[in-house]
Amino acid sequence: MLNSINLKPYILLPIFLGISLNAYSADKLTVVSWGGSFTKSQVEAYHKPYIKETGVEIVSEDFNGGLAEIKAQVESGNVTWDLVSLDKPDIVRGCAEGLLETFDPSILPAGDDGTPAKDDFIEGAIHKCAINSIVVSTILAINENQFKGKATPTKMTDLFDLKTFPGRRGLQKIPQGNMEWALLADGVSAEDVYAQLETREGRDRAFNKLNTIKEHVFWWTTGAQAPQMLADGEVVISSAFNGRISNAKRDENQPFKIIWDRQMGYMNGWAIPKGSKNLERAIEFVVFSSKTKPLAKQAAYVSYGPTRKSSTINMDKALLDTLPTAPQNFETAFLVNDEWWGDYADELNEEFNTWLAK
């Protein structure tokens, strides 16, 4: 998960909430996530309320992402994890490989405003092997102190405008997101981006657009680098994970501004390893955590956007302004097509690395 740190595994027991442990010792779920502030947000928004309502014990464990451990458990027939917080590319891949249980979307309740779940969740959030609960976005950000008395970048295309906004740029050292931005900035419609990237002409068009700023780019590889480069004045504009920028503004009082135009949205959600011994309880947890209020509550702890539209309706404006799925921030969002990248990632990674080396 983007923007998370490791935290030692811990156990949330019903006794912490005034519930008798002995009464519910037979019910337990092992829930696996990314640690740090992200797991804390899930604990507060999902785990504790679920424990209070059901009395089920939750054993919380950390992992570093990916499908390796899930695959090992499923293939050995010894599945000890009941729920795993997976990024959507791993959901797509794990589903295709038969490593995850499937869901019936009809079990999801309507939003608190009465909107049916199929209409309340943003496009792509409901997957046959998972319910995605958050959107994490790669956005562009600036240090406003660098633009006092000068024109300020306000849109994604400003990344490529060296004349108006001279100086170094920061970009993540991967093709995902950068290739899409390049085509969008070159005038390709959002609907045609991936069709273009399937062609030699389209890929060349993306690389040619990136060539216009290539000599001015610092390539970052870890989430902490982008806000640090902005704070130090090494770059005038940088891609970054939205949570990193929001945290730096809130916790360090950094004068950063997020440019939400054409944010690149990535999803994360709950999946159940195939063969979970507590399948019914695990599905119950997914349904519980996918309701309007729990999704809204998680956003109070991490600046990731809830995937239900109803979760943002009555949200505090100051909080709403920091979230990728806030209506005013989501207008021009581009949701990364994980299924497409699953098919083309290997060849585009190779092409991207070859381009970088030129």
Chain-centroid distance of CA 115 in Å reads 24
Residues 256 and 274 in one domain: no
Determine the pLDDT at residue 37: 87
Average pLDDT over every residue of 317-344: 95
Q: For the segment 32-73, what is each residue's pLDDT rounded down to a tens digit?
A: 999 988 999 999 999 999 999 999 999 999 998 999 999 999
Contact 140, 241 (CB under 8 A): no
Q: Is residue 1 part of a domain?
A: no
Whole-structure pTM value: 0.86
Q: Is residue 121 part of a domain?
A: yes
Q: Residue 24 has which token pair?
A: 């519910």
Percent pLDDT > 90 in the chain is 90
Residues 219 and 317 in one domain: no
Q: Is residue 3 part of a domain?
A: no
Average pLDDT over every residue of 82-110: 95
Determine the pLDDT at residue 25: 35
Q: What's the CATH number where 294 sits?
A: 3.40.190.10
- For residue 65, the enclosing domain spans 10-135+267-334
Q: Is residue 254 part of a domain?
A: yes
Q: For the segment 181-213, what is each residue's pLDDT rounded down to a tens digit?
A: 999 999 999 999 999 999 999 999 999 999 999
Residues 213 and 351 in one domain: yes
Q: For the segment 108-155, what is each residue's pLDDT rounded down to a tens digit?
A: 999 999 999 999 999 999 999 999 999 999 999 999 999 999 999 999
Q: Is residue 19 part of a domain?
A: yes
Q: For the segment 244-290, what is each residue's pLDDT rounded down to a tens digit?
A: 999 999 999 999 999 999 999 999 999 999 999 999 999 999 999 99
Other Cβ atoms within 10 Å of 106 Cβ, number:
8
Residues 97 and 17 in one domain: yes
Residues 216 and 330 in one domain: no
Q: Is residue 23 part of a domain?
A: yes
HSE, side-chain direction, 13 A CA sphere, residue 120: 25
* β pairing state of 126-127 and 83-87: unpaired
Q: Is residue 5 part of a domain?
A: no
Contact 269, 130 (CB under 8 A): yes
Contacts of 203-209 spanning 24+ positions with Cβ under 8 A: 203/179, 203/348, 203/351, 206/179, 206/182, 207/182, 207/351, 207/355, 209/160, 209/182, 209/183, 209/185
Q: Residue 98 has which token pair?
A: 């038969």
Residues 201 and 281 in one domain: no
The span from the CA of 304 to the CA of 232, in Å, is: 25
The span from the CA of 47 to the CA of 289, in Å, is: 8
Residue 4 banded pLDDT, cuts 50, 70, 90? very low
Mean residue pLDDT of the chain comes to 92
Q: Is residue 162 part of a domain?
A: yes
Average pLDDT over every residue of 70-87: 97
Residues 210 and 305 in one domain: no
Residues 174 and 57 in one domain: no
Determine the pLDDT at residue 14: 35
Other Cβ atoms within 10 Å of 172 Cβ, number:
21
6: pLDDT strictly greater than 50? no
Stated as kind and residue range, the H or E segment containing 219 is: strand 217-220
Average pLDDT over every residue of 12-18: 35
Looking at the 3D structure of the chain, how many domains does it have? 2
Q: How big is the chain, counted in residues?
A: 358
Q: Residue 55 has which token pair?
A: 């009395």
Residues 209 and 276 in one domain: no
343: pLDDT strictly greater than 70? yes
Determine the pLDDT at residue 1: 52
Residues 353 and 205 in one domain: yes
Q: For the segment 178-189, what is each residue's pLDDT rounded down to a tens digit?
A: 999 999 999 999
Contact 264, 277 (CB under 8 A): no
* β pairing state of 237-241 and 130-143: antiparallel
Residues 120 and 219 in one domain: no
Residues 214 and 352 in one domain: yes
